[in-house]
Every structure is written in C-alpha cells, then in structure tokens.
Structure 1
Amino acid sequence: MTALLALASAVLVGGADFLGGFASRTAAGIRVAALAQAAGLPVALVLSIAYGYERLSGPDVTWSFASGAAVAVGLGCFYTAMGRGLISVVAPVAAVTGALLPVGYALVRGERPGLAALAGIGIALAAVAVISIAPSDPAHAHVAVTPAVVGLAVLAGAFFGLFYVFFSRISADAGMWPVTLERIASTCTLATLAPALTRGGFAGLRPVAPFAFGVGALEVAATVPLLLALQRGPVAIASVMASLYPVMTVLLAGIVLRERMSRMQLAGVVCALAAVVLISAS
C-alpha cells in the first residue's frame, strides 16, 4: 500500500512539474511557484476540513511548517532550472538527489536497505555526474544543460529530500491539516522570496495563471497520498517511490515539447530512473 500511494503521488507530481516547468519558460520560475502554491491553498483547506482530525499536536504543526518552507525553496530552484534547461534532464537530477537524502535519514534511524538499494545509490551519483557533463542535443542549444542548471536541480532535490523527511515526522492523528499548514508555509515563503529575487513582483503573471492553478490542484492532490505513504510505510520506500515523478515529466516533455537529449544525457536519465527503482527495492 505504501508503494502504491507513493506512486500515485509521483504521477500527479510529474504532471504538476511539467506544467510548472512549461510556465517557467514564460515567467520567472519562483514567481510561478509562488502563484501555484497560493492557488492550491483553498483546495487544501477544503480537503482538511472534510477529512477531519483526531489531534493536531505542536510538533505536527512545526513539522508541517518546516516541510512547507523546504518545498518552497525547492520549487523555486526547480522551476528556475526547468525554465533555463531541459525539463527532461532537470527533473531526474532533482528526483535522484531528493531520494538520496531520505534514504540517508532512514539509515540513521535504523532502516536497512538491501544490496539493490545500495547499488541504486551508487548509480544515482553516477547519473548526476553524467547528466552534468554531457553535451546537449544541438537542436536544444537554447536550453542547454549548464552547470548552473544542474546545480539548481541538485539544490532543489536536496530541499525536496528535506520535505520528505519533515513530512514523515507528522502523526496520523493530524488528519489532512498538515497539507494545509504546509501549503500556508510554502505560499508565505515564496511570496516573500519572489519579489526579493525577481523584478516586477507578481506583475505579468496572467498568461501563466491557468498553468499555476493546474499545478496547485495537482500538487495538493499529490500531497495527500504522499502524507499517507510516509506515515504508514518506511520512509526510504515512500520517498524514493514518490521520486519516480520524472517518468511522467519526461514523457510529457517529449510528447508536448518534443525535447530531445543527446545519447549521453539519455543514458544518464535512464540511469537516474533505474537508480530510483533500485533504491525502492530496499
């Protein structure tokens, strides 16, 4: 059940990330992320009220806010990277990085992955290196994979990993209120960062508003099964299976944007996705 819930989250997140990355080609990624977080807040609130809760403790509130702040910074880096580079490369790099941190956390807490997972960790590191140094397809030179883009993707993945760890600390008694609290924190964080880091504040976002609302709805829908998966199963399994979201993102980028990667980059992406699968075998 944990794997299925996490995979459901991955499919929804993959769709949201593609829409967010596509919109970030028109407007600054961090501004798109801020609008998307705000757009999903009413949906999260309705869901939390309908689901109810038994007890919302102080630590639950703290971890919810911490996870929201972490995912906010991660999304700002993530959408910025996708706005500057190939979506089909940025997403796997972020996913691999995001999967490694929770696995390390799980190891410290006593979870012991199998040999397949350990092999996956090694392949993941190699995949990031390959994608980082590989030349881009000439047809997409305007969105080449630069060290800056890869760096942003890795940084985004690190914050996504923190989000998984923080979210896993929330008790099942809190119901779905952590989804709303996380969304409040992420919205406030991005609403503060976006005007400070970009020119024009939130002006000129009307063309990407439909994409942002779609991203917000998909993200809220994805957070629900993710929370349940992290609460009910091993953190290593839930977080890594949820990190399969690049499969959907890469597929959509290939179908809609017709993105093509060099053979070396393609090999790196395949290794990254294979690493996530191997890690999930723990």
Structure 2
Amino acid sequence: MGELLALLSALCFGITHFVNGLVSRRHDGLTVALHAQLGGTVLGLILALSLNGGSATLADHGWGALSGVGTGVGVAFLYRAMSKGAMSVVVPVSDVGAVALPVLVGVCFLGERPGVPAWLGIAAVLPALWLVSQSSPEPDGTHQRGTVSAGVPSALVASVGFGVQFLAMAQVDKDSGLWPVVLSRVVSVAVIAVVLGTYGASWRLRGWPWAATVAAGALGTLAIVLYLEATRQQLMAIATVLSALYPAIPVLLALVVLKERLNRGQVAGLVCAALAVGLIALR
C-alpha cells in the first residue's frame, strides 16, 4: 500500500508541475509559485480541520516548517527554471536532489536497509532521470542548448529544496495529523514571498492562469499528504524514490498535450523509470 501511495503522490506532483509549468511560460515563475502554494495552503487547512487533529509535538511542527522551507525553495526555483528552460529538462534536473538527499540520509543515519531489488531500482532512478533530461531535437534537428542551460542552475537549486522537503516531512510522526503539513505550506508561502521580493517579480496573477495555478497548488498539497502517509507504511528511501519519479508525468503530458517529441534517450529513460518502479515495489 505504501508503494501505491507514493506513486499516487508522484502522479499528483507531476500534474502539478506540468500545469504550473504551462502557466510559467507566460507569467513569472515566482508569481506562479506563490499562488500555487497559497492554493495548497487552503486545501491543507480544509483537510486539517476536517480530519482528526492528531497529537503533533513541537518537533513535528519543526520538521513541518523545515519541509516548508524546502518546498518554498524547490517550487520557486523550479517554476523560475521553467520560465526560462525546456520543461522536459528542468523538471528531471530538479529531481536529482529530491532522490539523492533523503535516500542517503535514510541509509547513512536512520539505519534503513532496502533489499537488493530495491537497491537495483534505486540505482536505476538516476540514469532514468539523466536520460529523460536529454532535450528533444527541434524540427530542423538542432538542440536549444542555450535555452536548456538557462534553466538548469535554478533547477539544481530546486533539487536541493525538494530533497529537504521530502527528508523533513518523512520525520513527522505518524500520529501528528496534518497540522505540520499546513505549517509547511504557510512557511513555503513566506519563503517564496521573500524570493519573489528579492527578484522584484510581479505579485499579481489573474483569470484562468490564477485558477489553474491555485488548483494545481492544491493538488501539490494532496501529493505531500500522500507522500507523508507513504513514509508511514514504507521505508523513507523507498517512498522518496517512488514519489520522486514525478518527472515522467510532465514528459508524458508534454508528449500527448503539447505534441512534443521524445528522443531515444528520453524513451529509454521512461523505460528505465518503469523498471525502477517494479524493482522497488519488490523490495
């Protein structure tokens, strides 16, 4: 069950980033990130008020707040990257830290010991991400190297943020309820607001882009709730790797909806990602 929850989390994350990536093509990515997290905060409040409050400790709230810092940094710089670079490149790049950091901490400091199949699956993830991140050629056969490189630095910063997000949220106690998640959303909004002010980006987003962004942000909160529940039923390293397979979703949606083309490396990467899921599920 933990594996299914983690994969559903990946699906929600992938759709969230695809929708907000589309909006970021016409509006500043930092502005999109702010409104997305506001939408996610609203959903978090509704869920926390509707469900059992739990018994979160000060430490749980601290981990939630730290996760919010990671979320704020991750989302702000990912959507900034998607404002500049190709979605099929910057989203997988932003996933590197999200996979590596929690897994390394889980193995090195938390005593987690995945089985051999899971290790093989984990080892297959990074090659999958690298292959998926290879840009598709333009109709004339050339590659937009300048466009790709413009978004990669921000995507790498985002990857560290997402790593902190996953790692910190996994430390929240299973009986803490959803208030640490709400706190993480609030903190992420504050972090994004600071980054937005630093870069002097616009605070306004209106019409259908606003509605789409807010809805996608709410889906992102659902994704982190699913991930939190997955970590309570599965090793953090396993849940994190499965949830962090979300880059495959924007690539597939870009292929179907935007009619983008996949090169051979990206196809191989998606196959490798599917293989990784199967091996990790076997544990």
Contact in 1 for aligned 2:41/2:185 (Cα 8 Å): yes
What pairs up with 1:166-181 in 2 under 5 angstroms?
Answer: 166-181=168-183
- 2:34 is aligned with 1:62: no
Offset at residue 6 of structure 1 (A): 1.2
- Structure 1 residue matching 2:62: 3-state secondary structure: helix
The 1:220–1:131 alpha-carbon spacing in structure 2 relative to 1, beyond 3 Å, is closer
Structure 1 regions of 5+ residues with no counterpart? none
| SS of match in other structure, 1:65 | helix
In 2: Cα distance, 1:270 partner to 1:92 partner: 15
- SS for the counterpart of 1:76 is helix
Aligned to 1:27: 27
Work out the CA distance in 1 between the residues paired with 2:52 and 2:218. Answer: 20
User: Which of structure 1's runs of 4+ aligned residues deviate more than 3 A?
Assistant: 114-132, 139-145, 203-207, 264-282
Identity of aligned residues (%): 35
Q: Which one of the candidate residues 155, 158, 162 is aligned to 1:156?
A: 158
Distance in structure 1 (CA, Å) of the matches to 2:278 and 2:171: 24
5 Å-filtered alignment, 1:73-92, equals 73-92=73-92
1:53 and 2:43 aligned: no
Amino acid at match of 1:202: W
Give the residue type in structure 2 aligned to 1:30.
Answer: L
Pairwise mapping of residues 1-282 of structure 1 onto structure 2 (< 5 A)? 1-108=1-108, 109-127=110-128, 134=134, 136-139=136-139, 146-199=148-201, 201-203=202-204, 205-206=206-207, 208-268=209-269, 270-271=271-272, 274-275=275-276, 278=279, 281-282=282-283
Per-residue CA deviation, residues 228-281 of structure 1 (Å, 9 max, x unaligned), is 112332101111111122232222111111122333344345445645654565
Distance 1:87 1:37 in 2: 20
| Aligned equivalents of 2:131, 2:46: Cα separation in 1 | 44
Deviation, 1:205, is 4.8
TM-score (norm 2): 0.87
CA RMSD of aligned residues (A): 2.6
Deviations 1:152-194 (A, max 9, x none): 3333222212111100111122211112111100111111211
* Contact in 1 for aligned 2:31/2:204 (Cα 8 Å): no
Q: Which amino acid aligns with 2:88?
A: S
TM-score by length of 1: 0.87
Unpaired stretches in structure 2, ≥5 consecutive residues: none
Structure 1 CA distance, aligned partners of 2:54 and 2:128? 43
Q: 1:148 to 1:142 in 2, by over 3 A?
A: closer
Q: Do 1:60 and 1:169's aligned partners in 2 also have CA atoms closer than 8 Å?
A: yes
Secondary structure at the residue paired with 1:110?
coil
TM-aligned CA deviation for residue 51 of structure 1:
1.0
3-state SS, counterpart of residue 111 of structure 1? coil
Pair 1:131–1:44, CA change in 2 (3 A): closer
Contact (CA 8 Å) 2:54, 2:178: kept in 1 or not?
no
Counterparts of 1:117 and 1:279, CA distance in 2:
4
Pair 1:29–1:94, CA change in 2 (3 A): same
